[in-house]
């Protein structure tokens, strides 16, 4: 016990490396899930540490789910790290992709990528993601679309005029 009191740096180092190992293992498990769920040839980009603020159709304030976002050749998939919530958006249902700072009428105080899409029952829905490098993600998602829609261009112009 006296050794621990004199050598506190060892305890700190063990805790630090334990956290690093835990994060690495969790990311490895997530990567294995992606490889099992999707064909490697179908995956374009994967980003970890993405925050989802839920769908517009979900009641209540925007939830905050942290997980990873996978850009596929035919759509998007978000999966939360702890609650295993999945959001699948086929590319054919995407209406618009744009930058904003609000979701569900609430100011998020940060830059998010918003995606408007048609739900399975044909109604318009939307989702917001906080991703690293939002302009690159918007461009990558728009590349899935056959052509830019008028709605997407109008919303991009509107959001670019906002001061962030």
For the stretch 55-69, pLDDT in tens is: 988 888 888 999 999
| Residues in contact with 84: Cβ distance below 8 Å, sequence separation at least 6, in sequence order | none
What is the chain's mean pLDDT, rounded?
84
Please report, to the nearest 10 degrees, the dihedral formed by the alpha carbons of residues 22, 27, 29, 35 taken in order: -170
pLDDT: which is higher, 35 or 2: 35
The model's confidence at residue 30, banded by pLDDT at 50, 70 and 90, is: confident
Q: Give the integer Cα–Cα distance in Å for 4 and 79.
A: 41
Query: What letter does residue 63 receive in the DSSP assignment?
Result: P
Predicted confidence (pLDDT) at residue 114 exceeds the cutoff of 90: yes
């Amino acid at each position: 016990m006296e050794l621990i009191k004199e050598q506190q740096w060892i305890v700190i180092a063990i805790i630090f490396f334990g956290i690093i190992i835990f994060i690495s293992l969790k990311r490895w498990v997530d990567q294995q899930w992606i490889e099992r769920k999707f064909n490697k040839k179908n995956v374009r980009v994967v980003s970890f540490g993405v925050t989802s603020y839920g769908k517009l159709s979900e009641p209540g304030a925007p939830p905050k789910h942290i997980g990873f976002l996978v850009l596929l050749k035919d759509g998007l998939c978000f999966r939360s790290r702890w609650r295993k919530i999945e959001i699948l958006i086929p590319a054919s249902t995407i209406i618009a992709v744009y930058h904003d700072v609000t979701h569900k009428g609430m100011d998020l105080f940060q830059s998010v990528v918003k995606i408007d899409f048609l739900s399975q029952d044909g109604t318009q829905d939307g989702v917001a993601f906080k991703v690293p490098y939002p302009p690159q993600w918007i461009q990558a998602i728009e590349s899935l679309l056959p052509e830019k829609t008028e709605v997407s261009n109008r919303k991009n112009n509107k959001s670019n005029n906002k001061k962030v």
